[in-house]
Structure 1
Amino acid sequence: MAFNFVFSIIPALFLLSFLSCEVQAQLLTTGFYARSCPNLQTIVRLAMARAVAIEPRMGASILRLFFHDCFVNGCDASVLLDDTPTFTGEKNAFPNQNSLRGFEVIDEIKSLVEASCPATVSCADVLALAAREGVVRLGGPSWPVELGRRDSTTASQNEANSNLPSPDSSLSKLISIFQSKNMSPRDMTALSGAHTIGQARCATFRTHIYNDDNINPIFATIRKLNCPASGGDDNLAPLELQSPNLFGVNYYQNLVGSGGLLHSDQELFNNGSQDLLVRQYSINPLLFFNDFAAAMVKMGALSPLIGTNGQIRLNCRKVN
């Protein structure tokens, strides 16, 4: 009897565990702070408006910061943690070192939020909201940001090194990385459109402009003027030459003309599976905006810490 009883309750335990996960998942909602911090979205919106007005590139920088956070163990603000003598974070991982920026903007927003709603809003949610506002300020689409994430107390430099796409990635590698996050090739191609804004370091596109065949030679010559074959690693070039501070479809138009700055950019239009979608985006801004917004919602739901997991960090750079 005891034996049968034990095995009879196992399905029930699995059901309870499943229901518990479902309840926790429901905690991520657009209205999560409606009562506890009703001014949150206004605070973030105004702060990002100021930051982008001072430096338009900051919209792209915060968006990239959010991407690099979510693709490493989920959207948990782990990328914001500073190294300490006993802790190695993600900031100095190869894809992030001398590259990620905007930390001080998140610090400022967090301090404003703390002044209004102490110990209430996670750094992960601040970053998610700031990423959207940066895109909107540069003329891009808006999307519903689901909230209720909590902050990680750990980070992984190894995971950052292995989970983030390289600027030298092939199309198959890009698709594989995104599929490992349950994101489709269409999601990947839409999110790559984030490169319609921002800039890249010479070190990330040197190989493409000097060695690749799938590049417009005139475009390559222009880019070589500010990116020598050796040296000048930190020299910057706009990811999209025509309007690097305006969120639009010029990025895809450039790909159709073999003018992608990064090797990984041009892989999206190189006689491969994404060519048709790139052509569609290049002439249909509404299609791109809708797909980008949908993919951002999907990315924002990557493995969030919710419920009692993690913590609400008071300082985004360190655990409480």
Structure 2
Amino acid sequence: MNIPSAKKRFTSCFFFFFLLFLSSFVHGQLDYRFYDNSCPNLTRIVRYVVWSAISNDTRMAASLLRLHFHDCFVDGCEGSVLLDDTSTMTGEKTAFPNKNSVRGFEVIDAIKANVEKYCPGTVSCTDILALAAREAVYMVGGPYWPVYLGRRDGLTAKQNSANTQLPSPFEPLQNITAKFTSKGLDVKDVVVLSGGHTIGFAQCFTFKPRLFNFDGAGNPDPTLDATFLTNLRTLCPNQDGSDTKLAPLDANSINRFDNFYYKNLVNNTGLLMSDQALMGDDTTASMVYYYSKQPYLFYKDFSASMVKMGNIGVLTGNDGEIRKNCRVRNSYNY
């Protein structure tokens, strides 16, 4: 696992305090110091468990980031993605975008168990997930942003909400942008948060249509670089059994958070159709070019977008609850 350079750490700290200053005006419901007295070692506990998880499985950094994204985009950041199905509730884990895809639940469980030892009944699973995503990104070379805390856990989860609200790699850019704006985000957030695909993997079925039948007549996506197309066809042949194989979203720096994602799009080597589509729109393409040349500005803007995303639909005060077990409500009466 790579350790950020001194320059990177200085820059990250600068961005951290810059965001802390700006965000203090817009995050009145949440507080960066929310657990300073009630659970002062919270960040240290989260950091250690995340570090252990990534040391054992480098894919986990991307998985924790994605888990946070999938939580916040479905009815807000309230931990609904963590709930298991019950006899009376079909939750988000079995929704099409999540089934056999979303990972990291055991890591959140481990963090929660450790937190409960030191601060029982104090820290929400939703806050743990937000912190884990930040720590995961930072540990693989990404930026460090202020995570505002005080979220409470939701009381239910809905499979259909995940099916309809989560952006899909098969959707056109217009649809994806509409889903972002419905959450209070904007086009810039679409481009910036898509940059999270600089780490992680995608299953072959999410991009195979681009390789073999993009136009319905057996032809590949004409925007794909020829060499990249050949390599992907070798990895994901057009036959049964290859759909669940994994391909890196950014083959240039698989386990490193950087701006190569944008360089890939400029070179027509974006893996997902929804990613490469950013080059088909003048507004988003200009941002892609910008971030492909300005890595530290990408880190700054990614941090700001993560802060915005982490404030979507939060529950605070007396709403929701603080789950003892992230997989189930404190009461089983659904």
* Other-structure match for 2:226: 217
Give the Cα separation in 1 of the matches to 2:36 and 2:279. Answer: 43
Deviation at 1:159, TM superposition (A): 0.8
The normalised TM-score by structure 2 is 0.87
Q: CA 1:271 to 1:306, structure 2 compared with 1: closer, same or farther past 3 Å?
A: closer
Q: What is the rounded CA distance, in whole Å, between the counterparts of 1:220 and 1:200 in structure 2?
A: 15
The residue that corresponds to 2:20 in the other structure is: none
Deviations 1:80-102 (A, max 9, x none): 00112221100010111110001
CA contact (8 A) 2:89 2:158 kept: no
Task: For 2:282 and 2:93, locate their aligned partners in 1 and report how far apart those are by CA, in whole Å.
Answer: 33
Aligned to 1:308: 318
- Whether 2:252 is the aligned partner of 1:248: answer no
CA contact (8 A) 1:47 1:109 kept: yes
TM-score by length of 1: 0.91
> Equivalents in 1 of 2:198, 2:186: separation in Å?
20
Q: 1:118 aligns with which of 99, 117, 120?
A: 120
1:288 aligns with 2:290: no
CA distance in 2, matches of 1:230, 1:287: 42
Structure-2 change in CA distance of 1:271 and 1:298 (3 Å): closer
Output the aligned Cα RMSD. Answer: 1.0
The SS at the match of 2:235 is coil
Show the counterpart of 1:72: 74
Between the aligned residues of both structures, percent identity stands at 53
What's 2:61 paired with?
59
SS in structure 2 of the partner of residue 274 of structure 1: helix
Measured after TM superposition, the shift of residue 154 of structure 1 is 0.3
How far residue 271 of structure 1 moved from its aligned partner, in angstroms, is 4.4
Give 5+ residue unaligned stretches, structure 1: 1-24
- The residue aligned with 1:208 is 210
Alignment pair present for 1:176 and 2:185: no
Equivalent residue number for residue 163 of structure 2: 161
Q: Distance in 2 between matches of 1:129 and 1:37?
A: 14
- 2:238 corresponds to: 229
Task: Give distance in 2, aligned partners of 1:150 and 1:243.
Answer: 36
Moved over 4 A (4+): none
Q: Alpha-carbon deviation of 1:295?
A: 0.1
Distance 2:155 2:307 in 1: 24
What amino acid does structure 1 have at the position aligned with 2:210?
H
CA distance in 2, matches of 1:99, 1:296: 22
Q: Distance in 2 between matches of 1:298 and 1:82?
A: 27
Measure the CA separation in 2 of the matches of 1:302 and 1:116.
Answer: 28
Contact kept, 8 Å, 1:214 with 1:258, in 2: the verdict is yes
Amino acid at match of 1:230: Q
1:262-313 per-residue CA deviation (whole Å, 9 max, x = no partner) reads 0001011124321111001001101110110000000000010110000000
List gaps (5 residues or longer) in structure 2: 1-26, 215-220
1:177-206, Cα deviation, whole Å (9 max, x unpaired): 111111110111000000000000011111
1:175 Cα shift? Answer: 1.3
Helix, strand or coil for the counterpart of 1:200?
strand
Contact 1:206–1:227 (Cα < 8 Å) also in 2: yes
SS in 2 for 1:273: helix
Q: Which secondary structure does the structure 2 equivalent of 1:267 belong to?
A: helix
**Higher mean C-alpha displacement, 127-136 vs 76-85:** 76-85
* Number of positions where the alignment pairs a residue of Structure 1 with one of Structure 2: 296
Q: Does 1:258 align with 2:260?
A: no
Matched, 1:49 2:68: no
1:97-116, CA deviations, whole angstroms, 9 ceiling, x for partnerless residues? 11000100000011010111
Instruction: Tell me which residue corresponds to 1:279.
Output: 289
